[in-house]
């Protein structure tokens, strides 16, 4: 291995460590606790080393969002691949999405709530974000209904899921209705 290859590998490892540490700290204490100073202390590198990878917290949030979007897409595809039929796929997708949001609140916020400097719903949207949307649309396009744009339907269904995830997390909804909400969403929005 050349010196250049070793340096590139070490740089990539440091970057993964920064992102993983930011994510861990955010999940434990919230995004307000994530500062370059605290990250530098935790990973035992100087702040200038962090700044050689990321210009600041905003870019770190963006990196966590991209990593999280990749994980969300994988979770959605895994859940829907095991389901039999359109209704079962859409219900599995909804449950997997809500489960991801509940299990990874800081990552979910990085993807959908915080400013990570990423473009959404544009041509220059990063590939992991496009892929997460594609993972939603793969199951939702088949239940959009005649004459309904699959992308528009996916956005609307996704917005409903996002609302449920956000309201559930902030204890604005009755816990006993979690599963009936998914069933109602699937039965009323999807054309089955």
**What pLDDT digit, counting tens, does each position of 168-184 carry?**
999 999 999 999 999 99
Distance separating the N- and C-terminal Cα atoms of the chain: 56
Six-digit token pair at 27?
């999940």
- Whole-angstrom Cα distance, residue 171 to residue 135? 28
Compute CA distances 91 → 41, 152, 186, whole Å: 43, 19, 6
Average pLDDT score over residue span 75-95: 97
**What pLDDT digit, counting tens, does each position of 124-141 carry?**
999 999 999 999 999 999
């Amino acid at each position: 291995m050349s010196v250049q290859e070793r340096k590139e590998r070490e740089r990539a490892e440091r970057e993964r460590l920064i992102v993983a540490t930011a994510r861990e700290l955010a999940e434990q204490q919230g995004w307000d606790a994530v500062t370059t100073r605290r990250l530098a202390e935790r990973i035992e590198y100087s702040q200038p080393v962090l700044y050689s990878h990321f210009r600041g917290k905003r870019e770190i949030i963006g990196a966590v969002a991209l990593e999280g979007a990749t994980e969300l897409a994988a979770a959605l595809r895994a859940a829907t691949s095991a389901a039999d039929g359109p209704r079962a796929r859409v219900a599995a997708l909804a449950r997997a999405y809500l489960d991801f949001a509940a299990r990874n609140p800081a990552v979910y916020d990085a993807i959908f709530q915080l400013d990570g400097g990423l473009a959404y719903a544009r041509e220059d949207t990063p590939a992991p974000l496009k892929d997460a949307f594609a993972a939603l649309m793969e199951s939702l396009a088949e239940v959009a209904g005649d004459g309904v744009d699959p992308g528009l339907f996916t956005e609307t269904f996704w917005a409903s899921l996002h609302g449920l995830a956000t309201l559930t997390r902030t204890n604005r909804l009755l816990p006993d209705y979690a599963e009936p909400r998914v069933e109602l969403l699937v039965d009323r929005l999807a054309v089955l």
